[in-house]
Structure 1
């Protein structure tokens, strides 16, 4: 597989256009001898209504890819589409509006406002956009994450798993076209992490949500439909119907390959 060839699914799909796609994406940090090529001509489609994991050894470029695909970081060259919109061609204000209205985010550190209660945190993006929530959808999201009796609690009164479920609800309540999750279980114990992953899985299976998750954890990635593997800033493989054991074996092969060919590039 060449770096410029889009990764495609191994099975035909009835779904139309991908939720997001990148074409020949390059991200370079620094100049001269200090230059680091975090992404090196990445092309990949992120299918609608699927749960996709992005994995790779440390320094493979997985977080950089997600940040560029989500419009959180600007690519050095190449194109990024959310739906049919080339976000690399948008002005700052247009990009901010697109991220607010069409993309959801879940971060490892939760990113909740400590002075707001759970309900206020969940509705914050809609409030900023001047939009009112769909009451039926809000109730569905709240019941799915199991936070009905915690809506008036502030983050300091919630466990880590509950805080991350608030963050997941916040990402979904605006009905985004795609949700990007960056190590969403990284700060959680195994029980809380499983709760969050099960919720993300349900949001895909029951609500048709599209989720792209960066993770280093084979157990987390096993909850997804598809795993895309990066190494040295390039897409090198993919896996459908992943299991933790199969993912771990594939990662070991990547680590072995890298150990025999120098140090991976910076930019996780």
Structure 2
């Protein structure tokens, strides 16, 4: 049962405000949410709903205006910059839409980069398992410009997992990929949860991508308005249509 394990991350009364006065925008408005360990969670909502802001605050990439953010049992809103940087490096993995690979490094070097920065060596058996799972064994010596978009994103996924983080945050990881490459990445993320017990939180606008997850959390206007378990693309799309009138014709 998901509820039997403590959450990998949680937010309490989380608010994020940009700007001041009449230009003020309340991107998040008192969000409380548990992100269960060993689960694949999608965060969805219309454009401007606050889904990326929620992920960036939960991951410690952006500072909350008010509220608490926990990774495990650590309230990261109370950490100084250096401690927060160390926590993100050691306990959190990231996958971004734009891959964020270093062009002068080959695939293996990109995968190992977070560990190199931390002065740590990879667990050889874990590295082999991750590389095998993402299907990049024969591409490790290739630089990013010699890889397809899907291969580059799989390198980014492997980089996120190689340090055995407690939680991985993925921001539109299939946003720049064609449907075949996107399916490869999603299948890998799904397998990393099922086979390795990884915890993944993914922001996406794509019902097909979200259908790979265990749970979908819906945001609108900076608040959580619904969630869905055992999601299908059809059920997700129907729910999104109610939140976003622009999808009515979809």
Q: Name the TM-score, length of structure 1 as normaliser.
A: 0.91
Secondary structure at the counterpart of residue 41 of structure 2: strand
**Corresponding residue number in structure 2 for 1:161:** 150
Count how many residue pairs are aligned between Structure 1 and Structure 2.
248
**Corresponding residue number in structure 2 for 1:172:** 161
Counterpart contact for 1:39–1:64, Cα < 8 Å: yes
Alignment of 1:1-268 (within 5 A): 13=2, 15-256=4-245
CA distance in 1, matches of 2:27, 2:247: 15
CA distance in 2, matches of 1:208, 1:15: 14
Deviation digits for residues 36-57 of structure 1 (CA, Å, limit 9, x no counterpart): 0000000000000000000000
Counterpart contact for 2:91–2:167, Cα < 8 Å: yes
Q: CA RMSD in A?
A: 1.3
Secondary structure at the counterpart of residue 66 of structure 1: helix
Counterpart contact for 1:215–1:221, Cα < 8 Å: yes
CA distance in 2, matches of 1:192, 1:219: 13
Uncovered stretches (5+) of structure 2, i.e. residues with no partner? none
Deviation digits for residues 122-146 of structure 1 (CA, Å, limit 9, x no counterpart): 0000000000000000000000000
CA distance in 2, matches of 1:163, 1:217: 20
Give the direction of change, closer, same or farther, for the CA distance of 1:14–1:22 in structure 2 (3 Å limit): closer
Deviation digits for residues 226-252 of structure 1 (CA, Å, limit 9, x no counterpart): 000000000000000000000000000
1:148 positional shift = 0.3
1:13 positional shift = 3.3
Give the direction of change, closer, same or farther, for the CA distance of 1:27–1:104 in structure 2 (3 Å limit): same
Counterpart contact for 2:2–2:36, Cα < 8 Å: no
CA distance in 2, matches of 1:244, 1:164: 22
